[in-house]
Amino acid sequence: MMFGLFQNRFASQDDAAMRTAMQKGAFLVDVRTASEFAAGSVNGAVNIPLDRIPMELDKFKNKGAVVVFCRSGSRSSQAKAFLDRSGIPNVWNGGTWQDVKAMLKTL
């Protein structure tokens, strides 16, 4: 029970930090396939499918902050882990593209 309490507290801190990053113009990256991206995404987002991230790593360098997202949060979790291991700072897993879109509307 207490673990869940701490987990929720840290999640809200991460959400607040991600929200601040988005307010400051974070690099928004949809890691779904090109066809999924074409069917709808977040305004201002770029599409770099998960399997292309290793080849497109230069696009992530020198960004103040990066928010990755996908359909369910699974691929974006993998993308965040890869970017973290690659030394890209300030990367957040935004979860679903609908979550990121909704958060942007509240900024």
Q: Are 24 and 64 in contact (CB under 8 A)?
A: yes
Distances, alpha carbon 84 to alpha carbons 28, 44, 52, 59, 80, in Å: 16, 23, 16, 14, 6
Catalytic pick among 70, 83, 88, 91: 70
Active-site residue, 15 included:
no
Place of tokens 């069917």: 39
- The set of catalytic residues is 70
